[in-house]
Chain A
Amino acid sequence: MYQIDTLTKTYQQGKRVVHALQDVSLRIDDGELVSIQGPTGGGKSTLLQMLGGLDRPTSGSISLDGTDLAGMNDTDLTRVRAETIGFVFQNFNLIPTLTAQENVETALVPSGVSKEERAARAVAALESVSLGDRADHLPGELSGGQQQRVAIARALVKNPKVLLADEPTGNLDEETRDEIVDLLEGLWKEQGLTLILVTHDSVVARRTPRRLRIAKGQVKDLTA
């Protein structure tokens, strides 16, 4: 469960101060499926960074299951990312030189599981996204939809509590978009994840039980 209180994030752009998030207070319960919409530059990715422990807020608190991510050191934040949070990106962000299976395995490297277990879990994760037969393919040999499936397998192979997706369908055509959203929705239901997805796409947003909108660093809950 996320509990966010008066969260502010400002960036310095030269002499200008940008308020990417301003006094955001928000609660997201375990197992929720939340979509975040909003205009470009509104602060969606910034909020996702705070939720994922990729960066620390300028002020305010953001606690995940009772621990404040804002006050954590780098080592602890790294551990939270390694164990509890999965990420899916708009550009898939696969390592181009590693095969699908190896890409999935990178997520298990920090937890120090054995090589054999790593391989077995990676293969299973690929099968859960219907890519069991593409384990040896390099990202360049896969379609955009397939690459995003590999990325989803990478995010979920460590059984995280939270899955954060920043425009996961932004680079995909409509048909593939629906496949990916179906897949995410299925995995969310199956695994009891907290799934937060940033999207420009209202079609995607309409499928989520809870919808947030961020503009100018301020959050509005559209479903409340």
Chain B
Amino acid sequence: MFFTYLRRELRNRRKQTVVVAIGLAVAIALVIVVNSVSAGVRDAQASVLESVYGVGTDVTVTQAGEPGAGGPGAFAFGSEDGEASEDGTRSLAQDNLSVARGSASFDVSALETVAALDHVTGVSATLGLQNTSFSGEMPDFEAMQEQMEAGERPEPGTAGGGGAAGGSSFEVNSFDVTGVDPAADAVGPLTTVEVAEGRTLTADDADANVAVLDATYAEQQELAVGDTLTLAGTELEIVGTVTSTTGDGVATASDVYVPLAVAQTLASLDGQVTDLYVSVDSASNVDEVASAIEAALPDASVSTQSDLAEDVTGSLSTASSLVGTLGTWLSIIVLAAAFGLAILFTVSGVNRRTRELGTLKAIGWSRNRVVGQIAGESVAQGLIGGVAGVLLGGLAVAAINLAGITLTGSSGGGAFSFGGGGDVGDRLQQMGGQAPDAGAAGAAAPGGGPFGGGGAVASAVDVVLSAPVSLWIVLAAVGLAVLGGLLAGVVGGRRAARLRPAEALRSLA
């Protein structure tokens, strides 16, 4: 009788049932979408971090550079450098391989210090460098100066401060070079790469002039395995290309990987490194290890994975905060509205059925049986809403996944971006599939003055959003809908419980 009566009531009040179920379904779907998208965004953040810092890295150690120090700083051009053409303009080309601006190298002995700490299960060191090449033409400054002294206005178009103006045109190109210890493979940036072509660095390569390239960078530069790459005047043989294991089209942490010792030699930074990748025995000890490292290495800046997660910027962090705040509030509001709707309809249903429920009591139905019937109806509505909501939410998540939303995240402490040139612009253009000419954009800005270099160090990684729907979310969502039904049932049931059986004798209504 319970189920017959329940089914008949729901079918008879089809409109209310549908409205309540839709309300709950929309709320449930929203909860599922918000949950799975934020899980997707978290995954994306994790893969951004992984692609930059490698799998298994719990703590990274870097050292902030003195302002102005290090970095692909000023190119020093003497007036005698380069070849002067007939009109005094000089063609110049110069390479600069040094520690990325904003960070500093430190002695490799830090590695031993960290390795000796409790709970540390692995450490590897890398030397992050940036190679900036400059090529272009500069006007004859001497001639200009003579003209100025003679009181002559410089002819427009031949001189002037503007980089793009006058006889100057420059191209600045930069790429990342990371010196890695080929023997250390447990932790570090190479843990999230796989060989696309050729091979990766091995322990035998320790002092060999070889390089492994990011596959995307290699393609963009039209370089292949077997070609050579010139770094600080030394020719390196390209032995392999690598891609990220975190996703298709995801760039790896660096453009070029060379053996650590080679990087140190080429950059004249013997015994120096820029990053330590530390793995810790258990997640609960990460903070303790981080503090111990800070104590042991006072100049170092120490970041844990969660610090790093906060550092992830770009559309990823926008998505993360959007989902986190707006999504959560929206689900709470819609959920509350749906619950309210369910309660409202249940209560009004009980009010409408006063005589009917009174009659059941009059003919001997206990209060609990009547309340149970009302609660059963609301819970069933909740269940219908929950199932519909899971379907709706599943469809919405599937649509989001099919849409292939690409989120871009950058991570890399202390980096600053410069004029849209350099690395970020470079990679953005990669994403758009255009030929890179980052140099032009980067160089146009400060004109003839000393160059700051193509400064951006941040590694931008784009990740296609993949929102997972876990069984747990589905069960929780259905549970939430049933809870809404139960809540309505309790409120409606309380009313039904208070109803006097004598209501059956009311001749009105």
Interface magnitude class on chain B? 20 to 34
Give, as a whole number of angstroms, the nearest-CB distance from B426 to chain A.
Answer: 70
User: Which of A52, A79, A98 meets B4, CB within 8 Å?
Assistant: A98
How far is B362's CA from A48's CA once the two chains are assembled, in angstroms?
12
Q: How large, as a class, is the contact surface on chain A?
A: 35 or more
Flag if A55 contacts B4 (CB, 8 Å): no
Whether a CB of chain A sits under 8 angstroms from the CB of B1 is yes
- Cα A84 to Cα B500 in complex, Å, equals 19
State whether the Cβ of B504 lies closer than 8 Å to any Cβ in chain A.
Answer: yes
| B329 adjacent to chain A (CB < 8 Å) | no
Shortest C-beta distance, A50 to chain B (Å), equals 10
Residues on A with C-beta less than 8 A from B505 are 45, 48-49, 54, 89, 166
List B469-509 residues whose CB lies under 8 Å from chain A. 500-502, 504-505, 507
Most central of B360, B361, B367, B501 by chain A CB within 10 Å? B501
The answer to whether A93 and B500 have CB atoms under 8 Å apart is: no
Query: Could you say which of A87, A90, A91 contacts B363, with CB atoms under 8 Å apart?
Result: A87
Q: How many A-B Cβ pairs are below 8 Å?
A: 87
From 27 to 48 in chain A, residues with beta carbon under 8 angstroms from any chain B beta carbon are 45, 48
Which of A48, A75, A93 is the most central at the interface, judged by chain B CB atoms within 10 Å of its CB?
A: A93
- CB <8 Å contact, B369 and A109: yes
Which of chain B's residues has its CB closest to A109's CB? B1
Least distance between B208 CB and chain A CB atoms (Å) = 85
Instruction: Point out the residues of chain B lying under 8 angstroms from A74, CB to CB.
Output: 367
- Does A205 sit at the interface, judged by CB under 8 A? no
Beta-carbon contact of B8 and A97 below 8 Å: yes
Cβ of B12 and Cβ of A97 under 8 Å apart? yes
A contact residues around B141 at 8 Å (CB) = none
Q: How far is the CA of A163 from the CA of B504 in the complex (A)?
A: 15
The answer, among B4, B11, B367, for a CB contact under 8 Å with A78, is: B367
A105 close to B1 (CB less than 8 A): yes
A154 near B: Cβ within 8 Å? yes
User: Residue A26 at the B interface, CB < 8 A?
Assistant: no
Q: Which residues of A contact B365 (CB under 8 A)?
A: 78, 82, 106, 109-110
Closest 10 CB pairs of A and B: A82-B364, A97-B8, A93-B359, A110-B364, A54-B502, A81-B364, A97-B12, A54-B501, A55-B502, A49-B502
Report B's interface with A, CB cutoff 8 A.
Answer: 1, 4-5, 8-9, 11-12, 355-356, 359-367, 369, 500-502, 504-505, 507
Can you list 11 A-B pairs, Cβ within 8 angstroms, ordered by A? A48-B505, A54-B504, A81-B362, A90-B507, A91-B355, A97-B9, A98-B5, A106-B5, A106-B360, A106-B363, A154-B363
